[in-house]
Amino acid sequence: MSASGGKAKTALSTGAKAVRQRLKMLLPAGKAAPGPPIGPRLGQVGLNIMQFCKEFNQSTAAIEEGVPIPTLITAYTDRSFVFETRKPPVSFFLRRLAGVEKGSSNPGRTFVGEPVTLSAVYELAQIKQQDANLRYTSLESLCKSIIGTARSMGIRIVDDRALAPAGQSSGPRPELVTPVDE
């Protein structure tokens, strides 16, 4: 019997690539360039920086330029790589919806921008649920998380269900989102 005691073969002997490092970066869509911060981070791992920038910019061509994209890069020992892009952060969407550049410097006491409606929160939760890491998270949990992020940024959430004409629903079903007190 071998020294491994009949255990599973190593990743190299089965043909799978050995992972050298995993990197998480927040990159602007369509604007990846070999300069800092991308160049130094990828250069330390030994990846072809220009190839990554070219592939990243091609994969984010359909997205508005400059939108921050969370990117997970897996670097292998043979200097190859794969990357996965996710949806922009919730804070980016909330700032866009509220029409502000940044959140409140004193959240909870001062509010910034236009109020965000519960129906917008629900739509945002549906967008974020498409990410691989949030696929199995309930919409209710995502909505609560988004509401918490909005509160920590000083962005007011308003319940727009009361504003809808009788017989029409302007937002999510009440059982999906807990009402927010103002």
In a domain, 14, yes or no: no
Can you give the residue range of the structural domain that contains 112? Answer: 90-163
Query: How many other C-beta atoms can be found within 10 angstroms of the C-beta atom of residue 21?
Result: 15
Whole-number pLDDT of residue 63? 93
Residues 97 and 158 in one domain: yes
* Torsion 140-142-148-150 (CA) sign: negative
Tell me the pLDDT tens digit for each residue of 122-150.
Answer: 999 999 999 999 999 999 999 999 999 99
Q: Is the pLDDT of residue 66 over 70?
A: yes
Query: How many other C-beta atoms can be found within 10 angstroms of the C-beta atom of residue 82?
Result: 12
CATH code: domain of residue 121: 1.10.10.250
The helix (H) or strand (E) run that includes residue 144 is helix 139-153
Beta strands in 10-110 (DSSP E): 19-28, 68-76, 81-85
